[in-house]
Amino acid sequence: MDRLLNAMTVLSLVLMAIILFSLRRSHIRVEYSVSWLAASFIILVLSRSHALLAWLAGFLGLTYPPLALVMLVFCVFLVVFYRFSVIISDLKDANIALAQRLAIVEFQLEHSHEKQ
Amino acid sequence: MKRASGPNEVLIIIPAFNEEAAIATVIQDVRSVMQTAPVLVIDDASIDTTCAQAVSAGADVLRLPHHLGLGGCVQAGYKLAFELGYGYVIRVDGDGQHDPRDIPRILETLQKTGYQMVIGSRFNDGATAHTSFARAMGIRLFRLVLRPILGKQVRDPTSGFVGVNREALSVFTKSFPLEYPEIETLVVLQRRRFQFQEIPVKMRPRQAGRSSITAAKSLYYLVHVLLGVFVNVLKFEGRRWRK
C-alpha cells in the first residue's frame, strides 16, 4: 500500500514540476495549467494523508484505500480531458471561421485590385 | 467576380480538394450550360494544380489557407455568396459526378417552389445509380433514420448536388456541419421548418481520383453522421430559429 502511495506522490510531484517548467518556458498558458496543478495537488495531498484517504475510501465503500486514490485520479483526468475537449472544440470553430474570413477578405481584396 | 445585381442571381460553387484531373472539364461543362452565371471554385488547400486549372478554365477561386474539410469548404462558398448578395447557390462536386445539364432544373425548382433547398437525387423514380454496395446500404439506413425526423421520405440523403436559396444561405453561414455535411444539413433545415424537394438527376462515374470515404472510413462515417443527426435534433439553437 505504501509503495503505491509513494508512487502516487512521485507522480504528482513530477506532474507539478512538468507543468511549472512548461509555464516558465511559456509552453502552456496559465489558464490551462490550473486544471493540471489542481489535479496534481489533490493527488499529492491524498497520497500523503492516510486519514483523508481512509475517509474517502469509506465514503466510496472501498476496503482498499489506495483504490480510492486511483479512482479519484481517473475522475480528475476525465474532467480535465473533458475541459480540454471543450476548449479544443471552441478553438477549432474559431480557427475555421478565421480561415474562411481570411479567404473571403483575400478574395475580395484581389478582386478590388482587378477592378482598379 | 462581381456582386449580385439582383435577388434572383445564381452562383455555381464547386468545392474542390486535389481535383486537378477533373476540375477544368467540370468548369467548362458548367459554363456551357450556365453561360451567364459566375462559377466559384473553393479550393480546400489542394496540394496539386487544382487552383491553377480552375483559374485557367475561367472560374473564380476562393483559396482556403488550410484544409478545412468538405463542410468548412462549402460553408466558405456560402458565406461569400451571401455577402455578395446572391439569391441562389447551386453546389456541384469537383470530381465530375454531377451532370451540369441538371442545374437549370434545380434552379427552376428552387424558384418555382420557394423551397429553401432542392436536392439532385440519383434514386428518384426508382432509378439506379453508380454507387457501391456499402454506400447503397448506408443510404438505406440513413433513409430509415431520417424519415421520422424529417417527416418525409428522402431518397438520396448523401447527394452533394444541391441548390439553396438565400433563406437557407443565411442559416448555413452561421450553422453548417463541418464533416460529411449532406445528411446533417437536412436536419439543420428541418429544425428551422424549412422545406426541401428532390428532383431526379443523373450521376456519372467520377472522372478522376477516389472518393474521400474509403472502406476503412465507412464505419467512422456512419457513426459520425448518425451522431451528428441526433445532435442536430437535440440542439437548443433550433428553437430560436423557428418561425
| pLDDT for residue B107 is more than 60 | yes
| pLDDT for residue B17 is more than 90 | yes
Q: Which three cell numbers stand for residue B52?
A: 491553377
Q: Find chain A residues with C-beta within 8 A of B63's C-beta.
A: 103, 106-107
H helices of chain A, where? Answer: 2-24, 30-48, 50-60, 65-115
- pLDDT computed for residue B130 by the predictor: 62
Q: How far is B63 from chain A (nearest CA, A)?
A: 6
- pLDDT computed for residue A3 by the predictor: 86
Complex ipTM > 0.90? no
Q: Which three cell numbers stand for residue B23?
A: 476540375
Q: Find chain A residues with C-beta within 8 A of B82's C-beta.
A: none
Q: List residues bridging with B90 in a β-sheet.
A: B12, B163
pTM for this entry: 0.83
What's the mean pLDDT when you consider all of chain A? 90
Note whether A104 contacts B79, CB cutoff 8 Å: yes
Q: How many angstroms separate the CA atoms of B46 and B41, rounded?
A: 12
Q: Which three cell numbers stand for residue B64?
A: 482556403
Range of the domain at A44: 2-115
- pLDDT computed for residue B128 by the predictor: 56
| pLDDT for residue B222 is more than 80 | yes
What's the mean pLDDT when you consider all of chain B? 88
- pLDDT computed for residue B26 by the predictor: 96
What are the tens digits of pLDDT across the range B120-178? 998 866 555 566 777 778 888 889 999 998 888 888 888 999 999 999 999 999 989 88
| pLDDT for residue B186 is more than 50 | yes
Q: How many angstroms separate the CA atoms of A82 and B9, rounded?
A: 46
Rounded to an integer, the average pLDDT of A11-25 is 94
Q: What part of B 137-196 touches A (C-beta under 8 Å)? A: 178
Domains along chain B? 10-236 (3.90.550.10)
| pLDDT for residue B194 is more than 70 | yes
User: A17 or B122: which carries more pLDDT confidence?
Assistant: A17
What are the tens digits of pLDDT across the range B164-185? 999 999 999 998 988 888 999 9
- pLDDT computed for residue B214 by the predictor: 66
CA distances from A47 to A41, A66, A74, A78 (A): 10, 8, 14, 19
C-alpha closest to that of B79 among A112, A114, A102, A113:
A102
Q: How many domains, chain A?
A: 1
Which residues are CB-neighbours of A69 under 8 A, at least 6 positions away? A4, A5, A8, A43, A46, A47, A53, A56
Q: Which three cell numbers stand for residue A87?
A: 476548449
| pLDDT for residue B42 is more than 90 | yes
Which residues are CB-neighbours of B41 under 8 A, at least 6 positions away? B13, B14, B15, B16, B23, B27, B50, B51, B54, B59, B60, B61, B62, B94
Q: Which three cell numbers stand for residue A48?
A: 500523503
- DSSP annotation of B117 reads E
Q: List residues bridging with B158 in a β-sheet.
A: none
Q: Rounded to the nearest 5°, which phi and psi values hold at B204?
A: -105, 160
Rounded to an integer, the average pLDDT of A11-33 is 92
Give the residue on B whose Cα is nearest the Cα of A89. Answer: B178
For residue B70, count other CB atoms closer than 10 A to its CB.
Answer: 20
Question: Percentage of residues in chain B with pLDDT exceeding 90?
Answer: 57
What are the tens digits of pLDDT across the range A23-60? 999 999 998 898 889 889 989 998 999 899 899 899 98
| pLDDT for residue B243 is more than 50 | no
